[in-house]
A and B are shown apart, each in its own frame.
Chain A
Amino acid sequence: DGGITQSPKYLFRKEGQNVTLSCEQNLNHDAMYWYRQDPGQGLRLIYYSQIVNDFQKGDIAEGYSVSREKKESFPLTVTSAQKNPTAFYLCASTTASYNEQFFGPGTRLTVL
């Protein structure tokens, strides 16, 4: 089964903690993306990566970090510097940036 997976589905974070959200794809896609979605709103781009070992900041990168050591994996770390991290996080991948994006099922992060 080809697809894109995210884990965990739900994540709870205490104040001052860093947490890492997993995103894995077996679609052999080059480009991967992280988006944040707040209730009733669209998607805002956090980070994206076009190739392994390279990534760029999106519109709301502050308080987040990523790595792209393998083509299949693009984990997102939400650091303690992100003051309002409670949101729904979506990972996506695509063969080329102008093509359709394939999305994972999302991770809902809540700060306690």
Chain B
Amino acid sequence: SQQGEEDPQALSIQEGENATMNCSYKTSINNLQWYRQNSGRGLVHLILIRSNEREKHSGRLRVTLDTSKKSSSLLITASRAADTASYFCATYWNNDMRFGAGTRLTVKP
């Protein structure tokens, strides 16, 4: 069964705008990871945040984690048309990795 649930399911923005995607989960976690998938391709790892971390940055990506609310958010700043893809959160707990259903992001040029 899936652990994370992304919100929104789909997001459409203009190039240059920021995109925020949210992930909620139900159980404890050791870490939470975000992945990107271009249409018809494999997933690519973007960033990992551990359960004792609250925020992490990587280039134009900012991830936050609130373990009390069991939620995480992924912010992509200054979006580009090339950011168009599906984004998945994945939670890791006790040798078990679970993926959500993803947010489909469309960035219009």
Contacts and interface: CB of A to CB of B under 8 A. Distances in A.
Interface residues of B, number: 23
Contact of B45 (A59, A101, A105): A101
A77 B97 CA distance: 22
B43 A90 contact: yes
Interface string A60-84: 0000000000000000000000000
B44 A108 contact: no
Tell which of A59, A98, A105 has the most Cβ of chain B within 10 Å.
Answer: A98
A99 B40 CA distance: 24
A97 B1 contact: no
B88 A43 contact: yes
A92 B42 CA distance: 9
Contact of A59 (B1, B88, B92): B1
B44 A41 contact: no
Interface in A27-63: 33, 35, 40-45, 59
A6 B42 CA distance: 10
Interface of A: 4, 6, 33, 35, 40-45, 59, 88, 90, 92, 97-106, 108
